[in-house]
Every structure is written in structure tokens, then in C-alpha cells.
Structure 1
């Protein structure tokens, strides 16, 4: 009886993958995938490392939603990609994460310029972000082949295979929406980085201006308090609630022989909780 799974079939996957319901799809249906400069830079780095020439193999997979799951964490991303076989393939992309001391240097450099934190909070990546990393001896994107590990459980010997390539496209698509995922690969999630930036900028803020006057941020809690020598509640001459009616021009019509202003006075007094007799107009 012939072997139902000969060796030449085991090492090659049929071209048509199994359909996935609810798979992860990229937003681009045609043309370029990356929409932001940082995602374009990510794919450009892959091309410079010799990976880009094979990326197109996974574009149809990424657009068809063949990726079942994708998790991004410090040091890499892991995914499940459905091919033509029943069992999804396990895919891993590894990028070295930076240590605590390295991230402290990056955070300090970012905190030194308020525009960096403002740009990140707005959901964008600062144009100078790579320069910031380079200034402390680091690289945000993979700097060489040693900075990028790729593995897939499929039988294809090409690296990257179509499954890895599909994951790269989905990563670029995610980076478009959330640039913090690029930083997460290097070891810092959004909340941790922003909290660190806030703490560093607060610590660097001077407690007072050069002439000895307290900084506004340090006295905001006292804004509504009375100053020295003043009562806690300031009072002035009491103005009748219907005084405004005495300042407007006389209405040109009457209602059943009565002035419109006089008809409105009870309503003004009621809204103010005042039952006193209205003053006579001058």
C-alpha cells in the first residue's frame, strides 16, 4: 500500500490555506500596508536585512485573516497562523528587549523634551525617536540580523516563510494604530513608560520661579481660598433678582393690559428664592 504522506508532500504545503473565521486581518486590501512613517520604517528595516524580498509571500495571508492570534510582549511576538493543514503553525519573532538601566537612559532622554511625551500621548511616534535611542547607544528597530530571530513550525525551509511574513505585515498594521507596541517589543509597555516620564518630569520641575514666587502647579490647590486678612466668604451688596428687567428696553406690547416686565418679575424672584416686593423702576 503506498504511503499516504510521502516525504515530498511532508516538506511542502499546498497553496490553498484553510479558511479562518474571525482571524486577524490587516486594514489594507491593496497597495502598501504601512500607513505611518514608523511602520514604513519597520518594513524598510526588514528589507535592509534581506527579509523584505520574501515578505510579499505573506501579504495574501495577512489580508485573508489567516492569523488566529498574535501577542506582543517584551522580547518578541508569538502567533498562530492557519495554513492548509488542520493544525495551525506556531510563529515567533524575537527582538532583544532592553534592560532596566538602558530604559532609564531612554526615559530620561524623552523626559528632557516635553514634545516627545506629548507626541506619544497623542498616539504618534516622535520623528526623532530613533535619534533619542541612538544617543544612548541603542537602536529602536532591529539593527542587524542578530537583532531579529524568526521561527515557524511549518515545513517550509525558506526564512521567512509565508506565515512569518504574514505576522510581519500584521505587526506593521498594529504599529500604525499603536506605536507603543514597537516599544513593547523592546521591553516597555505604554503605562510603564508614561508613568516613568511623568515621574521624571515632575522631579525636574522647579518648586518656584526665579523671583521666589511659587510655581503655579504647586499652588493650584489654594486657588479658591481667600488670601491673608480676607474672610473665607466674600459678600457684596445684595442685588434684587429681577434688577435685570429694569435695565432692558420697555417692551412695545402689553399682555392683557400689563407690562411684560411686571409679568416676568415673579418668575425671576422665584428662581432666586426671593419673595420680596420688587423695587420700583427708576
Structure 2
């Protein structure tokens, strides 16, 4: 996936506007030499970073400083079991799950990855594999630092690039979340080990608890968000898009 060609506006002072890119810059600043980091920002602002591409487990670019040098920055893969663990952790948090399905990227996402035992963001230079064609020996050199700085700005624009870099995608994460939610849903026909008895069958059970006054209302189309969309289309529009206004109208009524 191409994230951009770089430039003065691309990695300016606005980089780090979102929590995930701020965290990424904090980690970068914790292990990068101040002088090289400053030169990296300068290169990025001067438009010396070209062809920035984000692919699973690797970011690549060309940096002109003054000679063109190829730069590749790898990150360790997240295995299938860990992705499933992340999805299960997200599925266990109803409000977090709803926010993700609404298209948000809440800070709790990083916590869910940590709970699954895999960091969403690299914690140290040991989590990154830095490769540059320049003759320098710093880790990162100013060319790799420039790519990392521009990458933070790309994360600002599109947080799904962070998941792409880690070997996944937003679609994959949401699909796993829906599967985990369906797997954990109780079976309505499961009555447990207690046998059914005729005596007292028609007796009313305990009264339901009073609803909390300040409970946050669920969005009217929550069911449409939680279920995988069917393949049915009406006048070339997905069925869920057609039903959503009806759900909202019924909630207002």
C-alpha cells in the first residue's frame, strides 16, 4: 500500500495528532539519537522521502540524502493464534466492540493487543529490523529516521496502515471480532443440566432488575454492525444499507 511520496507538508508539525501516532513518535524518540532524529525530520520536511510503501511486516522508501538510499523497516509478525486472542479480547468488551464497528480507533485497542501478549506498536529498537543502503552505522540512521517520521504522519491519516504493517487489516480484525462474538454467544436452547419439571413451569420467575437510569443507549443499527453483511443487494445497494434507515426510524418512534 502506498502511503505517499513525502514532502514538507507530509511530515510537518501536525504529525502525531492521533494517539497511535503520538505513541509511535514517543517510542521512536526513546531510542533514537537526537541529532539523527532531527536530521530525519528535516529530510522528511524537505520532501526527500519518496515512494513510501506500507506492506505486511515491512515499510520501504527511497531517501535522498544527497544520494538515493533504499530503506526498509521490518517488524515482527503476529501469528494467527495471537490475532484470534486479540479478537476475543475485543469481543469481550461490548462498548469497545461497538466503537470499532462504528469505524473508530479507540486507545483501548492498544490495551487489547497487550492483553493478548503482542504489542500493537514496537516497544524498543529490538522490535524493528532497520535496513539502509547508506554507509552509516547508526540505528536508526538519519535516512531510516526520516522514513519513521513520515510513517507516523501516514498513521495519522490512516490508522489501518498500522494494522497492515503488523500483518493484518481492519477488515480482518473486524471479521475475527464478529466470529469471536458469535462463538461466545449463549445457545438459547441450552437449558444446562437442570431437567425441566412440570411443577412450577408456568410460575412467573423473579422480576427483572430495573434498568439503570444512565445506561448508554445502544445504537439502533447495532445488530447490523455485529452480524456479517449478507450477499443480498437491493438496487445494487447492500441490504444492511437499505435496512439501516428503517432501524433508526423505529428507534425514534
- TM range, normalised to the smaller chain? 0.5 to 0.7
- Per the alignment, residue 137 of structure 1 pairs with 117
- Per the alignment, residue 75 of structure 1 pairs with 57
Q: Does 1:44 align with 2:26?
A: yes
CA distance in 2, matches of 1:122, 1:154: 44
For structure 1, the 5+ residue unaligned runs are 1-21, 219-282
SS of alignment partner, residue 86 of structure 2: helix
**Structure 1 residues 113-160: Cα deviation after superposition (integer angstroms, max 9, x where no partner):** 233344345554322223222222222221233211211112233332
Once the 2 structures are TM-superposed, how far is the Cα of residue 46 of structure 1 from its aligned partner?
A: 1.5
Superposition RMSD in Å? 3.0
For structure 2, the 5+ residue unaligned runs are 192-203, 205-222, 228-253
Q: How does 1:28-107 map to 2 (within 5 A)?
A: 30-31=12-13, 33-51=15-33, 54-85=36-67, 88-107=68-87
**Structure 1 residues 42-94: Cα deviation after superposition (integer angstroms, max 9, x where no partner):** 01012223456531111122122222212212222111223323xx3110112
Deviates most, 195-204 or 69-78: 195-204
Q: Does 1:182 align with 2:162?
A: yes
Contact 1:72 1:78 in 2 (8 A): yes
| Larger RCO: 1 or 2 (CA < 8 Å, sep 6+) | 2
CA distance in 1, matches of 2:179, 2:11: 42
SS of alignment partner, residue 201 of structure 1: helix
Q: 2:137 aligns with which of 119, 143, 157?
A: 157
Larger Rg: 1
CA distance in 2, matches of 1:175, 1:26: 17
**Equivalent residue pairs, number:** 192
SS of alignment partner, residue 169 of structure 1: helix
